[in-house]
Amino acid sequence: MEKEITIYDIAKDLGLSPTTVSRALNNHPAVKEKTRKRIHDAALELGYQSNVFASNLRSKKTNNIGVIVPRLNGSFQSSVIAGMEKVANEAGFNLIISQSQESYDKEKANAQTMFNSRVDGLLVSLAFNTPNIDHFNPFIKKGIPVLFFDRIIENDQYTGVVIDNIQSGYKATAHLIEQGCKKIVHVMGHSDINVYTDRLKGYKYALMDNEIPFDENLVFRSNLNEESGEEIVNKILTLDPKPDGIFVSNDSCAASCLLHLKLNGLKVPRDIAVVGFNNDVISRLVEPAITTINYPGYEIGEVAMKNLINHLRGGADRVLENTNKITLRSELIVRESSKRK
């Protein structure tokens, strides 16, 4: 095994003091740029590796921020993480990302791993079956900030970043009613997740305001994946009279529903109008393009990360200590799948 290269080896090779080498490797302004470059080049040539672990022990900071998401295979979470990473990298932080795979037990294990890894802060979107957030208590006791986004649990100790899902559900349903729909199916995800229960509330409020009776039989619970579309459409075909509108809680499932409606001879939007949610790429690629709610994932990631880093740096705008919810705006994007008028 080759000998580990140290700053003393670099100093000896260049005829400089170890202090100068150390400062240069940490980009200290006291070292001239020409000398810094010379030292960095020598470190690279000799194969020097910075001992980040030892440095972190001294500073009690890792410059790592943990992120726990339900799944990494969705465009929404990918967009959120992209927003987080941009802000984190600009501020000199790294991300450690894990997925719970919609499992409470795995989420607990991920949280423990993040805690043991001494992350400086944690950002979490909860699994669908998470009954409580006690597994994040060690972070609070240790003074490590935890911020939730998208899927949150109302709790005075934590801040959440969300959109107004009730208003978004209302907008989507009211739009279908404006287009002449009177029997509207709502396809939602797991009823324990805040985003889906809130969208259902918005759906109900829009029906109420337009004097359309709420029918529990028109609310379908689904995994909201691509495979669900056929099952949802088959269920719609059994209803008499047939629904004339469908509001689906994500775009990939809405696109699958649209495909199977067409395969069964139904015209969209003439026979049944379709509205999705998220403004995923798929909503713009299918024919007809799907009316959807723009869910600003990238912005959610940016806002969540900025507030966490502000808190870590003790800035004047320490939002985590001042509010329990940060609500971002969303908008309805009307496309051909719902234009009946």
Domains, the chain, ranges and CATH? 7-50 (1.10.260.40), 63-162+297-327 (3.40.50.2300), 165-296+332-338 (3.40.50.2300)
Nearest CA to 250 out of 207, 197, 293 is that of: 293
Q: How does residue 193 score in pLDDT terms, banded at 50, 70 and 90?
A: confident
The owner of tokens 């000799």 is 46
Q: How far apart are CA 264 and CA 255, in angstroms?
A: 14
Q: Whose CA is closest to 122, among 114, 131, 134?
A: 114
CA dist 32 → 16, 24, 35, 205 (Å): 13, 8, 5, 66
Q: How far is it, in rounded angstroms, from Cα 59 to Cα 86?
A: 24
Per the CB < 8 A criterion, the answer to whether 298 and 77 are in contact is no
Does the pTM of the predicted model rise above 0.85?
no
Instruction: State how far the Cα of 187 lies from the Cα of 258, in Å rounded to an integer.
Output: 13
Asked whether the predicted pLDDT for residue 102 surpasses 70, the reply is: yes
pLDDT tens-place string over residues 137-179:
999 888 899 999 999 987 777 889 999 999 999 999 999 999 9
| Angle, helix 228-237 to helix 251-263, in steps of 10 degrees | 50
- Contact assessment for residue 299 and residue 328, using Cβ atoms and an 8 Å cutoff: yes
How much is the average pLDDT of 33-43? Answer: 89
Task: Give the chain's largest Cα–Cα span.
Answer: 88
Is the pLDDT at 53 greater than 70, yes or no?
no
Distance separating alpha carbons of residues 153 and 197, to the nearest angstrom: 12
Q: Would you put residue 319 in left (φ > 0), alpha (ψ -120 to 50) or beta?
A: alpha
The distance of Cα 90 from the centroid of its chain, to the nearest Å, equals 19
Of all helices (H) and strands (E), which one includes residue 332? Answer: strand 331-333
State yes or no: pLDDT of 84 exceeds 70: yes
Strand-by-strand arrangement of the 273-275 sheet: 219-221, 184-188, 245-248, 273-275
